[in-house]
Amino acid sequence: MVSPPKSPPQKSHGRLAVTPSRQPRVLMEDTPQVAGAWRAQVLTLFPEMFPGPLGGSLLGKALDQGLWALNPIDIRRFAEGKHRTVDDTPAGGGPGMVMKPDVVGRALDFCADTRPRSADWPVIYLSPRGKPFDQAMALRLSQADGITMLCGRFEGVDQRVLDARRVQEVSLGDFVMTGGEIAAMALIDATVRLIPRVLGNQASAEEESFSAGLLEAPHYTRPAVWEGREIPEVLLSGHHAKIAEWRHAQAEALTKERRPDLWRAHVAKAASEDPTGEAELSDAHTSAQRRPEKD
């Protein structure tokens, strides 16, 4: 009987370890960790919620390849007593409960002890009162060595632990959610996709909304005519300079119309970079007129 051929040895260059986990999902079992890979520590009362959508598509593939690592950590393991209580009534009275500083403090200290001392490693608390999250922050976080995120629950976290551990508060918008887990996933998604090799085409990240302070121009694809609506003629011309000019004008027009706050910032930045006034912004309402759609 002929023995089956042996499988070729697997490449291990740059790999630190293969670490199994008890988390109930496939991608966190035997996930490789590449040396120097960006890492997200997520402190949560619901670690089973991860990776969720982060385990699919390009981010899931990059996670499986070890281009980044995800470590959901159960906050309750740092609580004491028979019931592992993580919250208590708010000082001064009021509705709801507040996450205890001693429990959260031990959880944050554990995270600090498991990352490199010299690392660029922001610690973030997802909170509606925090600094607004934007594309510039996502880019900065993607260039760090990793991040630790604290997902709040109930009425929030005792302020003393946020102050003592110098935790940055970050908000995804002017709304309130039941917890920080979904917000953490959104922040991770926006950040990880900017890490080199995660996207199939890195140019996509360079040309999308907010990357240049403007909203992105509209997109079109075949068929050339759909329900009587045509692709703008310039996009079919093959003239790359004119296409780039059209897209930039469209981006300016959309930004001015839909996000006047971004438009004002864009104009102010252009003025600061060109104090002589020799350079001019394109007329977003003349040169960037969008082609009227046919009924």
Residue 293 has pLDDT above 50, yes or no: no
Check residue 90 and give its pLDDT. 95
Check residue 188 and give its pLDDT. 98
What is the 8-class DSSP label of residue 198? T
Residue 246 has pLDDT above 80, yes or no: yes
Provide the CATH number for the domain around residue 230.
Answer: 1.10.1270.20
Q: Are the beta carbons of 228 and 294 closer than 8 angstroms?
A: yes
Residue 170 has pLDDT above 90, yes or no: yes
Assess whether 61 and 182 both reside in one domain. yes
Tell me the residue range of the domain where 101 lies: 26-192
Provide the CATH number for the domain around residue 51.
Answer: 3.40.1280.10
Check residue 17 and give its pLDDT. 41
| Rounded Cα–Cα distance for residues 200 and 59 (Å) | 11
**For residue range 189-231, what is the model confidence (pLDDT) as tens digits?**
999 999 999 987 655 555 555 667 899 999 999 999 999 999 9
| Rounded Cα–Cα distance for residues 108 and 148 (Å) | 8
**CA distances (Å), 187 to each of 148, 238, 261, in order?**
12, 37, 22
Assess whether 84 and 172 both reside in one domain. yes
| Rounded Cα–Cα distance for residues 210 and 212 (Å) | 5
Q: Which residue has the tokens 């959260």?
A: 104
58 within domain boundaries? yes
Quick one: average pLDDT of 31-37? 71
Other C-beta atoms within 10 Å of 174: how many?
Answer: 8
What is the 8-class DSSP label of residue 242? H
Query: How large a percentage of the chain has pLDDT more than 90?
Result: 71
63 within domain boundaries? yes
Quick one: average pLDDT of 42-51? 98
**For residue range 134-154, what is the model confidence (pLDDT) as tens digits?**
999 999 999 999 999 999 999
Task: Answer positive or negative: Cα dihedral of 218, 55, 202, 214.
Answer: positive
Q: Which residue has the higher pLDDT, 52 or 211?
A: 52
Assess whether 118 and 227 both reside in one domain. no
Indicate the pLDDT class of residue 94, thresholds 50, 70 and 90.
very high
**57-65 and 181-192 are packed helices; what angle lies between their axes, rounded to 10 degrees?**
80
Quick one: average pLDDT of 113-125? 93
User: Which of 13-17, 43-47, 269-273, 279-283 shows the highest mean pLDDT?
Assistant: 43-47
Assess whether 173 and 61 both reside in one domain. yes
Q: Which residue has the higher pLDDT, 174 or 212?
A: 174
Nearest-Å Rg of the Cα atoms of the chain is: 24
Indicate the pLDDT class of residue 157, thresholds 50, 70 and 90.
very high
Assess whether 122 and 262 both reside in one domain. no
Q: Are the beta carbons of 216 and 259 closer than 8 angstroms?
A: no
Q: Are the beta carbons of 184 and 44 closer than 8 angstroms?
A: yes
Quick one: average pLDDT of 50-75? 96
| Rounded Cα–Cα distance for residues 141 and 184 (Å) | 13
Assess whether 107 and 233 both reside in one domain. no
287 within domain boundaries? no
User: How many separate domains does the chain show?
Assistant: 2
Cis link prior to 223 (omega < 30° from 0)? yes
Indicate the pLDDT class of residue 14, thresholds 50, 70 and 90.
very low
Assess whether 237 and 182 both reside in one domain. no
| Rounded Cα–Cα distance for residues 129 and 150 (Å) | 14
Check residue 166 and give its pLDDT. 96
User: Which of 8-22, 100-114, 214-228 shows the highest mean pLDDT?
Assistant: 100-114
Mean of per-residue pLDDT scores for the chain: 85
| Rounded Cα–Cα distance for residues 195 and 145 (Å) | 11
Residue 66 has pLDDT above 70, yes or no: yes
In the beta sheet, which residues pair with residue 70?
Answer: 40
Check residue 213 and give its pLDDT. 84
Indicate the pLDDT class of residue 263, thresholds 50, 70 and 90.
very high
Check residue 28 and give its pLDDT. 47
Show the CA angle centred on residue 195, arms to residues 12 and 138, nearest 5°.
145
Query: How large a percentage of the chain has pLDDT more than 70?
Result: 78
